[in-house]
Amino acid sequence: MILAFVEHEDGKLSKLSLQMLTFCHGLAGQMGAALEAVMVGEEARPLAEALAAYGVGRVHLVVHERLADYAPAAWAASIGQIAAAQAAQAVAAAGSEHGNEVMA
């Protein structure tokens, strides 16, 4: 399984995240693996359904009051826990400022 960290802002999915999902969907197909996504924040809930159009089979939504504000280390820890629990073969993020910080 490939786990993709999907960013969103102002009620919209990040364009860079959508480009990353397109790449990950192709890679997952080559690997014979599933593509799953992780999003942070309650405001991501209504956006999660749209990810199916990019080949995402399951969305992990991380919601906690301590994660409401941008906290790259805490977000990374949450993503890492999901990746470990789901035995992800790879974890991906967009090459954005937030994506780079969370994946660092």
Supply the range of the domain harboring residue 26: 2-103
What is the rounded CA–CA span in Å between residue 78 and residue 20?
Answer: 20
pTM of the predicted model, to two decimals?
0.94
Read off the pLDDT of residues 47-94 as tens digits, 9 standing for 90 and up: 999 999 999 999 999 999 888 888 899 999 999 999 999 999 999 999
Contact 4, 90 (CB under 8 A): no
CATH number, domain containing residue 39: 3.40.50.620
Number of domains comprising the chain: 1
- Tell me, what DSSP letter sits at residue 1? -
Read off the pLDDT of residues 2-22 as tens digits, 9 standing for 90 and up: 999 999 999 999 999 999 999
